[in-house]
Structure 1
Amino acid sequence: MIVIMSLEYDVLIIGGGAAGLMCAASLTSRGVSNIAVIERNDRVGKKLLMTGNGRCNVTNTSAVAGDYNTDDQDKLSSIFEKFGISDTMTFFEDELKVKLTDKGDLIYPRTLRSNTVLDSLRFYCEDHGVAFITDTLVREISADNVINGSYKARYIVISTGGASYPVTGSDGNSYKFINSVIHDNSAFAPVCPGLVPLMSSDKDIKALSGSKAHARIRLFIDRKECACEDGELLFTDYGISGICVMQLSSVYNIRKLTGLKDAYVLVDLLPELSAEEAKEQIDKRLSSSSQRSVAEQLSGLLPINIAEVVSKRKGDLLDNIRNFRIDISGSLDMDRAQVTIGGIKLSALNDGMSLRKRDDIYVIGEAVNVDGPCGGYNLQWAWTSAFAAADDISKRLS
């Protein structure tokens, strides 16, 4: 790490996660010097190491601004037009020297290791003179940009994350000190967990804990279908999980903020088959003369424990297989969420990511009310917002 020689900087970045490190790297690539990153943990990038199951899904080539939840879609589109996916991939390949590889739309480092991405950012910053101040929790920002009464900067970038995975340091603390400088509660969108498993109190669901099935899952809130996802469904002792469920959870929790009476999902356990094909597959396996239970006869079509639960439910067997109902009682908390929904509103920021009410302070990454699906979308927002802030700051310093 760079030895800290000064208490005054041109740019102080609070939070050494994906967005903060990219902002520092992007600033130095634009010729800005005298930069420091303040990190509450003993090392930077703790949460970045967890992304993509340790493989770091850097971006997604199909991502567009419309895929994200935010309060200002026009501004988000404008930011993505200036700093998009191709800019990200070029920076990683040309500046950070990270060879990228694709798995469909998903872009990873060739090593398939998240520490490759972290090391490339950290090494680049260190090689360009960025100072790292670790084990330092920011408690206050004064009116003249003094942090904790010690560190002063011309510009401050807040990249402390949201409130998801608080064990990594992103515990929502950023919202408090952002509001301490703008004094405007209306500038914040309500916060809730995103990309998180869903809970169910259905007794027969708990009996399926550990089972998996390829499924199509439709989410209903107050009896109206709100979203649909295909993928692997994982049954747990608290409810359901899997990427498809995590995607639906964001829709569920956003609606929950405004109030809902009930929610449930209908699971199609044979999504690749038409209704006629599914009926044919079921009928040819069932025999009134068989000594086997219905579940046992269906074991070549469905996992036997799932078939057992489905066959014991009242009603038509085919309908139960195509519309297996699971009542939703809630979601797990922030400690299991992959992303935070809500935060400082994008509309409370200028196009360059500075606060409208305090334009020498910038907010980037997960602290902003922008969240996307699984699959590299949220890291792309970290990179995009970091590029936008770095570009704006470098122009103001020049």
Structure 2
Amino acid sequence: MVSSVFFVDSTTTGELKEKYNEDKKIKILLVPGHDSESGGTVFKNIKESELNLRLSRELYSFLSSNPRFEVESSRDDSGYNKNITEYMSINKASIEDFIKSKKNVMQGLLSSGDISIAEGVIHNTAPEEIAKRLYSINKWSNENNIDLVIHIHFNDHPGRKINKEGKYSGFSIYTPEKQFSNAKASRELADYILKNIDHFYSKSNMPKERLGVIEDQELIALGSYNTLDSIGLLIEYGYIYEPQFTESSTRNLIIKDMAYQTYLGITDFFDKKEYLGEYWKSTLLPHSWSDIVESGDKGHDILSLQVALVLEGFYPPKKFLSDDCPVTGIYKRCTTEAVKEFQKRYKITTTGRVGPKTMEKLNQLYSKVTSD
């Protein structure tokens, strides 16, 4: 009988949608990874813990605008969520028992052959105190009937030299391995979020992450040892050394839009995709261009240009892959070629730079809010 805990769904998409449609609150916990003491990965002066917190703030804001969502964060600018820290302090013994019990059950099922080990991406082992905190968040979430737990991270890979860019790029979404009781609904939500983020941003080109959604049996955040009842996701929004994150003129803009794409994916999951009135399908539009832009330029104008070109179907341009042409806010060859295609469509001289006539057309199409 004990094996049934792994095979019976602890949450289902149908139940969550029914709850949403009955105007009952969907309870969401955001967990921005790491903190000032355990900062995660670092590239030059950029700390993962700070990026995680910034994206969490943006996502919190978008989700809180929907009256059907009740949103909490495990930490914010003032520190850790007091409800969770007090719970951890008061329940140390029961948390230890919870971890031990869940591990014993899984070890027994592995020994009996009722479940199997699933090999996946190799992760750094969490220090003991962080592991306890993550298990505590899982137990607290179970007892407080949280519906969605979303962990927010930025990626890196082993062996990257200090202050040197690595060889991988792109975002990925980790979900519980299929044998876990929260796996099915988690995977369904992940697929909706993937669809929205992937509209503008490139999936990871790390071989084991290429599909965008990766099942995982070891990450505590997702419910390792079947410790989480709710949907659990861990989203790696990109590799910390990618130019859109290292460039100060684009970093916060990209983070806000990736949070918005996550929000759209969540509302899409509930069959109620809800664009916020001041934006198009991206927070980078509408946008008004007032300066000529061309190869070598970077910043907000270029980000919004690239997003507009995605919507036009020209970015990435023909014969290029999304890995070759990520949305970065930097005007390079991909943007030049895409602008040429845009100019051909609207019968503008094909220069590959955004001059007055191209700018006029862009503003005509993309400088006002539309519901289309």
Bin for the TM-score computed over the shorter chain: under 0.3
Q: Name the one with the larger helix percent.
A: 2
- Higher relative contact order, structure no. (Cα contacts within 8 Å, ≥ 6 residues apart): 1
The alignment's TM-score, normalised by the length of structure 1, stands at 0.25
Q: Name the one with the larger strand percent.
A: 1
